[in-house]
Amino acid sequence: MKKDRGKIALLVSDSLKAQAGAEALRQAHDWAPFAEADACVVLGGDGYLLHVLHRMIDSNAVKPCYGINLGTVGFMLNRNASSRPIAERVHRAREVEVSPLAMDAVGRDGVHHRFYAINEVSLLRETRQTAKLEVAVNGKVRMPELACDGVLVATPAGSTAYNLSANGPILPLGCRMLALTPISPFRPRRWRGAILPESAKVSFRVLEPEKRQVAAVADQKEVRDVAEVHITAARDHRLTLLFDPGKTLEERIFAEQFQA
């Protein structure tokens, strides 16, 4: 059932393109403050939308977001081309639910860090030395040693981003699966990764950490020199993106798989 979207807030990136595009919108609607809004219009690129969604998670104030692309790629946003009033576009939009990941990283200094990822959590070597990782799923070691430049766990929404560039699989929205994808694996050389249920807990332990330092990154948040990392689906922080009818994120993920 579609929730009330009567009060709408406007959030705009600092980029010159987004600021220029916001001028007409500011005059076209009676915008509400963010705290009182039922939904948000977000102007900018994918990076700014991710910034807004992370800010909502951190403040525990999650609202449906209708993004308008005034950035570069705009994979998670709507096109900036419509003659319809903005309030009508937001009201007619279809909802797409996105589940982020929770990354719990423990540094070699023993400090615990928790960050959320909407696209992916990645582990990356910090030095010229190949990273060596133990890979466990649901507490059972599945790979005693993975030698690689890194490894990542991607959500369906993030499966067309870094994951795809690392030759990982594209996951349909709503499949409740995760992609576990190695980055330039050396041993085992032919391992292509795995597709796991969203309920899985994925854990990595850094082997030879004194010699082979590894950083963990949840979207833009980085923890350097980690000892172990645990990744789970954050089901209590589900997010809602709004798309014009016929232009949903699901359709874009399908289209990505049939590009020449």
Domains and CATH numbers, the chain: 8-99+238-256 (3.40.50.10330), 101-234 (2.60.200.30)
Known binding site: residues? Answer: 46-47, 51, 119-120, 149, 157, 160-165
| Cα 37 from Cα 8, distance rounded (Å) | 5
Nearest to 52 by CA among 89, 83, 9: 9
Q: How far is CA 18 from CA 68, 72, 87, 176, in A?
A: 9, 11, 19, 33
What's the whole-model pTM score?
0.87
SS3 46: helix
Known binding site for NAD(+): residues? Answer: 46-47, 51, 119-120, 149, 157, 160-165
SS3 145: strand
Question: Quick one: tokens of 149?
Answer: 């430049």
Per DSSP bridges, beta strands 214-218 and 221-223 are: antiparallel
Per DSSP bridges, beta strands 226-233 and 101-107 are: antiparallel
The mean pLDDT values, 10 residues at a time, for the chain of 260 residues are 77 94 90 95 94 94 94 84 86 91 98 97 97 98 97 95 94 91 94 96 97 96 98 92 80 71
Catalytic residues: 46
Q: DSSP per residue over 198-213, as a string?
A: TTPPEEEEESSTTTS-
